[in-house]
Structure 1
Amino acid sequence: MNSILLKPRMNFSCGTSAIHLLDESRLISIVSELNPEAVQKLISSLTSIDWSVELIKEYEHKWDWSNLSKNPSLPWSVELIKEYEHKWDWSNLSKNPSLPWSVELIKEYEHKWGWSNLSKNPSLPWSIELIKEYEHKWDWYHLSWNRSLPWSVTLIERYKDNWDWDHNYGRFAIFSNEFFPWAVKFFDRYVHKVNFDDYPYTSDFSQNLALSMELIERCKENWDWYHLSQNTSISWSIELIERYKENWDWYSLSQNPSLPWSVELIEKYKYSWDWYSLSQNKSLPYQLIKKYKNNLYWSIELL
């Protein structure tokens, strides 16, 4: 592959290979030691090249099209996709977030997409209508993890028999998605699907960002309190902390930046805090650091 490819920029990072290239001559030196196939793969995956339609066309027969298909830095357009329709790796193309995703694009290549990868792509124009249109093509396990879906009670109810509610690879997709619209009424409807005896599940569920005080109370005998104590999106209050003071993991709680830190809070539980963990908490206000300077473990981060 001609060195002209390398001229647009002088500083590259080759992804997982961790090759940092300072100039063109060094890159050429490294590339010259690789076999042609490795060179094709490496160059095709670079995101720091000034990609253009002309560049892709000029070396059309030299690219590794599988890597090119998942490269987010190409000048993606409907025209570019059409031009090389028979060269793309459609499975890799399906997970590329940088395509000009639209309902029309999905329809145009309906029979070419890798629907498993498409199901986990956050950049699609997700809507209830889109999900309904291809409900028999989606990979519902991956769809259950996708944070970009228009999550609502209506959506979940409509496809309650399709979502991944079950144990899969030690995790539970639908319950682990922090955009799942948890509410007490909704939880009661699906509590029979919860396996509180499974540690990976309970761990995931305890870190769900949508938990309310009412839900915490409803399942207080079942939570993984270690992970619950780390949850940064609970509406933390002194009342909540007091109610479950015998349950919290105080080591984790001491590190949690989202607690309502105050002199009152620290004084109230001064014999419960893990002061070393508290010392690492960057959300501790300066006046508290000053007041408890003899309790804290000092490090440069606190100064």
Structure 2
Amino acid sequence: MSFEKIKKNYFYIILSVFLISNAFLPGKTLPFKRILIFTLLFITVVSAFLNKEKVYAILRYFIYQSNEKTIKRVSGGASLFSCIFLVLFLLLLNLGYLWAARCSFLLFIISVSVSAVFVFYELWHDSDVILQKIKPVFLGGISLLYIITNAYASSYFLDFSNMDLGDSPLLELGWKSAFFAIWFFVFLQPISYAFFLYASNKFKGHKFLAGMGFLFLASFLSAAALHWVNNIIVLTLDWATKSEWHTFATCGSLKISDSAERYFGFNTDKYTVYYSNHDGKWGFDEIKCIKDDNNQDAFIRVAVSQSEMPKWFKE
């Protein structure tokens, strides 16, 4: 009897082995790892070709089962693609194709987001009582978070650079947006987990997978926001200062310029300097212009803050 069950469901067994192997192998160094992955992939593809009806059953589970509305079919299709892109991400990661894996993960994020939007829309359209009550609390919480992160962003920038953030509008926009986004993603994970616990009994079929996918995405974004804080900060500073700050500073007859530096101020007695990837460091300096009646002008440079350059997403 057991043999008959195995024979009847061998495709699902092979598919499960393929998925579990790819889920546990990333980051592990094993001999013949690539050969093992390619072998499992080949066996899975062949078994899928020989069991087309089971493949169609999986597709129907996502797209057609009890999905009489177009919006539900779109949501189910997005959930299906999110699963495909997640598996593809793990597969490419195990094979060592990092850039392709990152692209697949980006597509996974997009498809999960689309699926989650449609699932929330369905709950909203069905007049879910709890969701209706949570809406004003959620919007109020976001507003409060924005106010608090704005205040702390200005305070941290003053500490880093000894400069008022409001003097540089584009930098202010990028810096405050980055702080808000970091803390929003940090709080998104526990909120998503609590909502999933509440709504799990309402999630069936593709909705359950969409909910799990969104919970996984929220957990990843929360961990990434904390792990890559320095990356986000430096990216924001690089973008804003290159767009808004000057590439040189002058003091009377003197002029200095460095490709790794950006200078805030023009023809003034004091400049704020931001430098990035300068001998493996990033930070802020102040430059004071000392003018002399005998045309012996000089710059005095004072360090304000300095940090190590982050490892740009190499981990």
**Fold similarity call, TM over 0.5:** no
TM range (shorter): under 0.3
TM-score of the two chains, using structure 2 as the length reference: 0.26
Report which of the two has the higher share of helix: 2
TM-score of the two chains, using structure 1 as the length reference: 0.27
Report which of the two has the higher share of strand: 2
